[in-house]
């Protein structure tokens, strides 16, 4: 008999990860209802409908919608008598798990997508994390880092937690279109022959972009035609980052608010840099994406990185908050072609074994089957 599962996500317009989930879940074993809490139309909701899922789009614009969305979720859960409710992200987990508890759904799962960020930057959020932890009968941690946060800082019994890493359709990272790449280079004023340093991170303090910009300035002294590309360029720390960018020549950097073709964007880079300032990253999918595309990379060990990144083997590792180390690593990668080639080969091999969408789905289905 197939298990009936409701999946609740919040504030998502488009997500390849959830699309891969919907495309990969075994429909012979599970009946999935997909519920999106969003302030307007959602491409993810539209995708779920296109795949013939029972899908619901519940309008959520802010705190004033909490009660009405909660009531709607309770009605959906009671009328469908689900075996499992699986929730993602803050409002999705808070409202989804509470509604499932009210509706007496026996198995209430949530995937924890953040690590210590509330403890470090938003302490008021910790009480909600604790409440959500208590509502859940099982918690999926996306990395060992998240597992440690749950057990050491929030007192969750280890037996309540299962680690399931994010999975990726790795084949998409091999589908490089030279015409599209050339088009993006023209769009973002990237010239042939330039050393291109790429960053794909929101403009928030914990991502460490404030340490990349001085390092790139250092690189410019030896490679004056180098280009810094900052993608996903928006966030609460934007003003401070813009002030740092004033020190760079105007033609030495490009800011990209959003680019849909991420694979082609990565392929425009010669070097990729992702350097969170501490261990608060929960996962960090850019670690996987950059290596899957085959870009020599410079990382700090946050999120999922400590579990598979090895210095000088599949990436260069630098300390937290260290512009000089980033600058040194940039120069080493520019100069050392054999090292670049080794990092690319080993990086692709590392992600292939651990982060395929097939492996994620197998592990997730084990959670569903055993609860």
Q: Tell me the domains of the chain and their CATH numbers.
A: 3-167+356-369 (3.40.50.2000), 170-354 (3.40.50.2000)
Residues with Cβ within 8 Å of 138's Cβ and at least 6 positions away in sequence, in order, are 107, 108, 109, 160, 161, 162, 367, 371
- 96-111 pLDDT, tens digit per residue, is 999 999 999 999 999 9
What is the pLDDT at residue 333? 98
Residues with Cβ within 8 Å of 326's Cβ and at least 6 positions away in sequence, in order, are 211, 212, 215, 273, 275, 298, 318
Three-class SS state of 84: strand
Under 8 Å between Cβ of 5 and 83: yes
What is the pLDDT at residue 91? 97
Three-class SS state of 198: strand
Helices and strands (DSSP H and E) totals, the chain: 15, 13
What is the pLDDT at residue 280? 87
What is the pLDDT at residue 293? 96
Burial code (b: 16+ CB inside 10 Å, e: under 16) for 203-214 equals bbebbbbbbbbb
When pLDDT is averaged across residues 140-168 and rounded to a whole number, the result is 97
pLDDT band at 260 (very low <50, low <70, confident <90, very high): confident
What is the pLDDT at residue 169? 93
Find, among 215, 180, 209, the residue nearest to 195 by Cα: 215
């Amino acid at each position: 008999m197939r298990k009936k599962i409701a999946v609740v996500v919040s504030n998502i317009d488009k997500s390849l990860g959830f699309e891969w989930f919907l495309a990969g879940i075994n429909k012979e074993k599970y009946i999935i209802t997909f519920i999106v809490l969003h302030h307007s139309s959602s491409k993810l909701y539209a995708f779920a409908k296109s795949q013939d899922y029972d899908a619901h789009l519940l309008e959520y614009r802010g705190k004033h919608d909490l009660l009405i969305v909660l009531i709607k979720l309770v009605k959906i859960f009671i009328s469908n008598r689900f075996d499992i409710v699986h929730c993602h992200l803050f409002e999705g987990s808070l409202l989804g798990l509470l509604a499932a508890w009210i509706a007496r759904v026996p198995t209430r799962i949530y995937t924890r997508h953040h690590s210590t960020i509330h403890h470090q930057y938003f302490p008021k959020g910790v009480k909600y994390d604790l409440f959500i932890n208590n509502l859940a009968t099982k918690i999926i941690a996306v990395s060992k880092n998240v597992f440690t946060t749950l057990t050491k800082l929030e007192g969750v019994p280890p037996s309540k937690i299962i680690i399931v890493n994010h999975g990726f359709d790795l084949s998409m990272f091999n589908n490089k279109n030279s015409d599209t790449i050339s088009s993006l280079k023209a769009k973002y004023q990237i010239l042939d022959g330039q050393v291109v340093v790429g960053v794909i991170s929101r403009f928030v303090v914990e991502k460490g972009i404030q340490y990349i910009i001085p390092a790139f300035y250092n690189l410019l002294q030896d490679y004056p035609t180098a280009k810094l590309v900052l993608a996903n360029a928006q966030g609460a720390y934007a003003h401070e980052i813009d002030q740092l960018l004033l020190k760079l020549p105007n033609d030495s950097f490009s800011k990209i608010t959003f680019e849909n073709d991420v694979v082609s964007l990565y392929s425009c880079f010669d070097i990729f840099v992702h350097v969170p300032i501490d261990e608060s990253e929960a996962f960090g999918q850019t670690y996987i994406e950059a290596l899957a595309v085959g870009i020599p990379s410079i990382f700090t060990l946050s999120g999922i990185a400590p579990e598979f990144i090895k210095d000088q083997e599949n990436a260069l590792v630098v300390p937290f908050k260290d512009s000089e180390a980033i600058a040194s690593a940039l120069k080493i990668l520019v100069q050392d072609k054999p090292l670049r080639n080794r990092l690319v080969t080993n990086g692709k091999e590392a992600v292939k074994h651990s982060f395929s969408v097939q492996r994620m789905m197998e592990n997730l289905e084990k959670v569903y089957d055993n609860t």
